[in-house]
């Protein structure tokens, strides 16, 4: 069982207010959130079993136990999915070799013309991109990294109108990846680099927020078009689901400041 599962359970246990969970609150508490015994009571499992889960011992919780924990911890849909992935053991990868996109995949961004597009790898390394992406996301070229660009490249705060929202969101996605691939050397190095270089990353990473890639819209400052709101979508590569094609639709960009 992954140690990451225990870290995730503890982080969510500390977020639940005992009073909101219907528990009596008497006296001053030394730690925030629920005690381990209280969570076990709410979930209908033994405190010993919960201790084993939080310690990362080699035990396999049933779907019923995971559902009970999710209800007691008031997990979001994304957090419930993350919990199940962690309980499944995660995909441990110790490989530390450069990641590449297949030529057929790497050539797709160039086919999208003026719409910025790029392909990322397991921890948001940029494996391929087109000229429109290079123009918009200044300094984020192939061989770079989307998350590193957001947190360490000054241009990111100029390009992304809602920088704090976008940066915290991509960090939450990296958090999910780190849980899915415990011990992956490139993910581990990237997290260490971000938390060393960015005060925001240092503050947000322990909060253990979780998100997964999805379509949506962003407010961006384009060097030629000014401030625009653009829709975007992410597509996972069939043979390599950890690789993702991201496309921004400039052709349908609405009036600046208006959410799609």
> pLDDT tens digit string along 134-149?
999 998 877 899 999 9
d(CA 109, CA 99): 17
Tokens standing for 97?
């070799």
pLDDT over 50 at 179, yes or no: yes
- Phi, psi at 145, each rounded to 5°: -145, 130
Is the sign of the CA dihedral 211, 212, 217, 221 positive or negative?
A: positive
CATH number for the domain running over 3-87: 1.10.260.40
Q: What is the separation, in whole angstroms, between the first and last Cα of the chain?
A: 42
Residues of the chain with CATH 1.10.260.40: 3-87
Strands 216-222 and 226-236: antiparallel
Residue 64: is its pLDDT beyond 80?
yes
Spell out the alpha helix ranges (H) of the chain. 3-13, 36-43, 47-54, 63-73, 77-87, 103-106, 108-111, 131-136, 146-152, 154-159, 163-180, 185-197, 199-204
Kindly provide the b/e burial profile for residues 59-83, where b requires at least 16 CB atoms within 10 angstroms of the residue's own CB.
eebeeebbbbbbebbebeebbbebb
Provide CATH 3.30.450.180 ranges for the chain.
103-252
Burial class (CB in 10 A: 0-12, 13-18, 19+), 143: exposed
* Secondary structure class of 137 (helix, strand, coil): coil
Which residues lie closer than 8 Å to 157 by C-beta, 6 or more apart? 163
- The answer to whether 187 and 181 are in contact (CB under 8 A) is yes
Which region among 45-49, 147-151, 153-157 has the lowest average model confidence (pLDDT)? 45-49
CB atoms closer than 10 angstroms to residue 133: 22
Mean of all residue pLDDT scores within the chain: 87
Decide if pLDDT at 90 tops 60: no
What pLDDT does residue 86 have?
A: 84
DSSP 90: -
Q: What percent of the chain has pLDDT over 70?
A: 92
At residue 83, the 3 state secondary structure works out as: helix
Q: pLDDT tens for residues 224-238? A: 999 999 999 999 998
Q: For 15-26, what is each residue's pLDDT tens digit?
A: 898 888 888 777
pLDDT at 148: 95
* pTM across the whole model: 0.73
The Cα 54–Cα 187 span in angstroms is 22
Task: With residue 162 as reference, give the H or E element that holds it.
Answer: none
Residue range 103-252 forms a domain whose CATH class is alpha beta
CA distances, 74 to each of 9, 44, 55, 168, 202 (Å): 12, 15, 21, 21, 25
Token pair 């419930």 in the structure block, residue? 80
- Nearest Cα neighbor of 131 from 114, 148, 107 is 114
């Amino acid at each position: 069982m992954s140690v990451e599962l225990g870290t995730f359970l503890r982080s969510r246990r500390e977020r639940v207010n005992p009073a909101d969970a219907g528990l009596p609150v008497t006296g001053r508490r030394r730690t925030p959130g629920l005690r381990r015994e209280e969570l076990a009571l709410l979930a209908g499992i033994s405190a010993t079993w919960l201790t084993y889960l939080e310690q990362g011992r080699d035990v396999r919780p049933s779907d019923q136990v995971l559902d009970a924990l999710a209800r007691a911890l008031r997990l979001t849909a994304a957090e419930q999915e993350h919990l199940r992935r962690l309980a499944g053991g995660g995909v441990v990868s110790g490989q530390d070799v450069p990641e590449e996109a297949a030529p057929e995949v790497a050539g797709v961004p160039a086919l999208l013309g003026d719409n910025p597009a790029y392909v990322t790898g397991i921890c948001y390394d940029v494996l391929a991109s087109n000229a429109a992406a290079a123009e918009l996301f200044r300094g984020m070229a192939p061989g770079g990294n989307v998350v590193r660009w957001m947190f360490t490249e000054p241009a990111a705060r100029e390009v992304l109108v809602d920088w704090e929202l976008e940066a915290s969101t991509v960090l939450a996605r990296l958090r999910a990846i780190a849980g899915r691939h415990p011990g992956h050397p490139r993910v581990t190095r990237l997290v260490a680099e971000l938390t060393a270089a960015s005060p925001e990353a240092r503050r947000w990473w322990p909060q253990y927020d979780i998100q997964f890639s999805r379509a949506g819209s962003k407010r961006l400052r384009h060097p030629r078009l000014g401030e625009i709101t653009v829709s975007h979508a992410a597509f996972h590569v069939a043979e390599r689901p950890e690789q993702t094609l991201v496309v921004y639709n400039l052709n349908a960009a609405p009036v600046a400041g208006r959410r799609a």
